[in-house]
Amino acid sequence: MAKPWVPVVLGRIFIPLLLLLALGIAPRPRVVDQTIKQIQYAVSFGSNLAVAEDLSQVLDYFPGRADLHELAGRYALKGGDAEMAIAHLLEADQQGELSSDGQIALGDAYKETGDLSQAVHAWKEAPGSLGLYQRLEKTHLLRGEYDAAAEDLKDALAFSPNDPQLYYRLGVLTAVTAPEEASTYLKEATQRDPSLAAKLQPLNDGLSLGLVKGDPAYAYLLAGRGVASLDRWDLAAEAFLRAVKMRPDYAEAWAFLSEARQHLSEQPVSLSREGLKELQTALLLDSDSVVVNIFAALYWQRRGDYDQALEYLQDASSLEPDSPELLAEIANTYATMGDLPTALDYYRKAIDIDPKDPMYWRILGEFSLYYQAQIREVGLPAIRQALILGPDDPANLDSMGYAFFLLEDYSNAERFLLRALSLDPGYASARLHLGMNYLMGGEVSSAREQLTLAKTLSPDGNVGERAQRLLARYFP
Q: What is the pTM of this model?
A: 0.80
Query: Same domain, yes or no, for 108 and 37?
Result: yes
- What CATH number is associated with residue 155? 1.25.40
Which amino acid would we find at residue 61? Y
Query: Same domain, yes or no, for 134 and 103?
Result: no
How does pLDDT run across 183-214, given as a tens digit for each residue?
A: 999 999 999 999 999 999 999 999 999 888 87
Mention every residue, 6+ apart, whose C-beta is less than 8 A from residue 460: none
How does pLDDT run across 111-132, given as a tens digit for each residue?
A: 989 999 999 998 998 899 999 9
Query: Same domain, yes or no, for 1 and 104?
Result: yes
**Upper half-sphere CA count for residue 428 (Cβ side, 13 Å):** 16
Q: Compare 456 and 17 and report the one with higher pLDDT.
A: 456
Distance of CA 108 to the CA centre of its chain: 23
From the DSSP assignment, how many helices (H) and strands (E) are in the chain? Answer: 27, 0
Mention every residue, 6+ apart, whose C-beta is less than 8 A from residue 108: 77, 119, 135
How does pLDDT run across 250-308, given as a tens digit for each residue?
A: 999 999 999 999 999 877 877 788 999 999 999 999 999 999 999 999 999 999 999 99
- Check: CB of residue 439 under 8 Å from CB of residue 423: no
Say if 110 falls within a structural domain.
Answer: yes
Number of domains comprising the chain: 2
Say if 70 falls within a structural domain.
Answer: yes
Query: Same domain, yes or no, for 24 and 58?
Result: yes
Say if 40 falls within a structural domain.
Answer: yes
Distance CA 66, CA 88 (A): 9
Distance CA 259, CA 227 (A): 13
DSSP state of 115: -
Return the pLDDT at 62.
63
Query: Same domain, yes or no, for 13 and 80?
Result: yes
How far is CA 300 from each of CA 262, 295, 318, 337, 339, rounded to the nearest angstrom? 12, 9, 19, 13, 18
Say if 62 falls within a structural domain.
Answer: yes
Which amino acid would we find at residue 271? L
In which element (H, E) is residue 447 found? helix 444-457
- Check: CB of residue 42 under 8 Å from CB of residue 34: no
Owning domain of residue 105: 1-114
Length of the chain: 476
